[in-house]
């Protein structure tokens, strides 16, 4: 089969590789009909995710048709059309049974490596480094999906691939980010980053009852997309965000702040130069420019919700401000399976059509160009979906 493989910094190649096989009794094999590049794939593309090996198949947002099922698979059968959540979950451990799916105990074969780094390991992830299990990803023609009966959702209605694909990651991720804000009537939610996750966070915040959403970015197309969802927008390059947020909220500050940017934050001025330098010198792994501002801006007693990915160590984070204002910090990989059914119902009822976020439709063979474009945000690129031939 053909698959997009990682070969180093900004080096993605489409290679011919062996087809995946059933390795464990709960596995299914999926023939992929649509796959996408996630913003978090760009962290891999830019070399910020440790534990990658040359030739690794990447991609964790995919859907398709079940073509083979392992001996212990009961629920799924050949021909089922499924969306695969990016977290691999066993369904039987304490965390799966308490619906904290992304913290699954049993699906990362390299858990000892991650345990050394973090103290414990969460779920294995598709195409997201050997620290997260080294599972081959879904930017390919076929993928092996462990525990097929647990995570994937069967799509039985007439919705198109483009409408349901993002149940795999970014829609649940944006939704959980908003849910983590514990939104109350009258709340103002500030969202940093108007990429795909930010877009879903904005829409989810409104669905969960936010009074106003303020979206922050500096890419015109993305701010425009936020505006279409009724968000007020701020361009961080032309305004002092902290002053503006304070002003827009009557001096209270936003009730919740969502950091939908993560480790590769862009900013301006001295602070951004400081983080870029420290990162280049490997004195910090992640650039926390957005997180600092979110903590600074948030109202007393508010929540800072972090769907943006962080991987290592950050510097000069104003923990004193977070403490003094009694903030709640919520973060983590998305418990994707928790949201599949309720969000599919929202799509089915027509309350949201997730395909709004797609800017480019390409083929798997074009993956290298797609990565380059998405990384540069050129040609108005917000989201690329790819069809494997």
Partner 1 sequence: MEVIRHHLSTVNVHPVERWISVLGGGALTLSGLSRGRDGMLRMVTGAAMLQRGITGHCHAYEILGVRTAPSHVTLPYELGVRARASVTINSPREPIYKFWRDFENLPRFMRHLVSVEPSDGQRSHWVARGPGNRQVQWDAEIINEIPNELIGWQSLPGSDVDSAGSVRFREAPGQRGTEVRVELQYNPPAGVVGAYIARMFGREPEQEIAADLGRLKQFLESGEVATTEGQPHGPRGRVAVAVEEAIA
Residues forming the site for partner 1 (CB under 8 A) = 1, 3, 5, 7, 13, 15, 17-21, 23-26, 53-57, 72, 90-94, 97, 105-109, 111-112, 115-116, 124, 133-136, 144, 146-147
Tell me how far, at minimum, the Cβ of 134 lies from partner 1, in Å: 5
Measured from the CB of residue 96, what is the shortest distance to partner 1 in angstroms? 9
For residue 41 the two structure tokens come to: 């794939």
User: Judged by CB, which is closer to partner 1: 148, or 302?
Assistant: 148
Rounded to a whole number of angstroms, the minimum distance from the CB of residue 264 to partner 1 is 25
The first and second tokens of residue 165, run together, are: 């694909």
Which CB atom, from 21 or from 351, has the smaller least distance to partner 1? 21
Is the CB of 122 or the CB of 267 nearer to partner 1? 122
Name the residue nearer to partner 1 (CB basis): 109 or 318: 109
Residue with smaller CB distance to partner 1, 111 or 346: 111
Alpha-helix residue ranges (DSSP H) falling in 26-123: 39-45, 94-97, 111-118
- 138-148 burial, b for 16+ CB within 10 Å, e for fewer? bbbbbbbbbbb
Return the number of the residue (115 or 268) whose C-beta is nearest partner 1. Answer: 115
Please state the closest distance from residue 365 (CB atom) to partner 1, in A.
14
Separation of alpha carbons 76 and 134, rounded Å: 24
Contact 170/195 with Cβ under 8 angstroms? no
**Smallest distance from partner 1 to CB 17, Å:** 4
Considering beta carbons, is residue 17 or 329 the nearer one to partner 1?
A: 17
Report the C-alpha gap between 225 and 195 in whole angstroms.
Answer: 9
- Residue from 210, 149, 152, 146 nearest 177 by CA: 210
Question: How far, in Å, CA of 170 to CA of 172, rounded?
Answer: 6
What residues contact 107, with CB distance under 8 A and at least 6 apart?
88, 89, 90, 123, 124, 133, 146, 147
- Provide, rounded to whole angstroms, the least separation between the CB of residue 49 and partner 1: 16
Work out how close the CB of 72 gets to partner 1 at its nearest, in angstroms, rounded to a whole number.
Answer: 6
**Main-chain phi, psi angles of 154, to 5 degrees:** -85, 130
Q: 250, 227 in Cβ contact below 8 A?
A: no
């Amino acid at each position: 089969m053909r698959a997009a493989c990682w070969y180093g910094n900004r080096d993605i190649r489409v290679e011919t590789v062996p087809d995946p096989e059933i390795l464990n009794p709960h596995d299914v094999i999926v023939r992929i009909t649509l796959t996408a590049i996630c913003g978090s794939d760009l962290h891999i593309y830019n070399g910020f995710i440790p534990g990658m090996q040359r030739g690794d198949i990447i991609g964790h947002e995919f859907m398709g048709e079940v073509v083979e099922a392992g001996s212990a698979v009961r629920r799924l059968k050949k021909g089922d059309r499924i969306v695969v959540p990016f977290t691999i979950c066993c369904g039987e451990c304490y965390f799966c049974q308490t619906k904290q799916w992304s913290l699954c105990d049993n699906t990362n074969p390299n858990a000892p490596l991650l345990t050394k780094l973090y103290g414990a390991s969460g779920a294995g992830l598709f195409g997201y480094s050997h620290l997260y299990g080294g599972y081959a990803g879904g930017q390919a023609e076929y993928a092996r999906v462990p525990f097929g009966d647990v995570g994937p959702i069967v799509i039985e209605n007439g919705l198109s691939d483009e409408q349901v694909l993002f149940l795999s990651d970014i829609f649940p991720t944006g939704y959980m980010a908003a849910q983590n804000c514990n939104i109350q009537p009258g709340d103002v939610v500030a969202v940093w980053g108007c990429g795909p996750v930010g877009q879903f966070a904005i829409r989810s915040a409104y669905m969960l009852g936010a009074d106003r959403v303020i979206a922050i970015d500096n890419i015109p197309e993305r701010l425009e997309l936020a505006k279409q969802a009724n968000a007020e927008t701020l361009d961080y390059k032309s305004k002092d965000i902290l002053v503006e947020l304070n002003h827009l909220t009557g001096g209270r500050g936003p009730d919740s702040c969502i950091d939908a940017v993560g480790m590769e934050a862009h900013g301006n001025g001295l602070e951004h130069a400081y983080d870029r330098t420290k990162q280049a010198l490997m004195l910090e792994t992640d650039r926390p420019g957005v997180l600092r501002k979110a903590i600074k801006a948030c109202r007393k007693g508010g929540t800072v919700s972090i769907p943006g990915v962080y991987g290592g160590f950050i510097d000069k984070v104003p923990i004193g401000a977070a403490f003094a204002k009694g903030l709640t910090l919520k973060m983590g990989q998305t418990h994707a399976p928790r949201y599949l059914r309720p969000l599919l119902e929202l799509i089915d009822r027509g309350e949201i059509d997730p395909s709004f976020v797609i800017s480019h439709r390409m083929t798997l063979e074009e993956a290298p160009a797609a990565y380059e474009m998405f990384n540069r945000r050129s040609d108005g690129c917000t989201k690329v979906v790819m069809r494997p031939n």
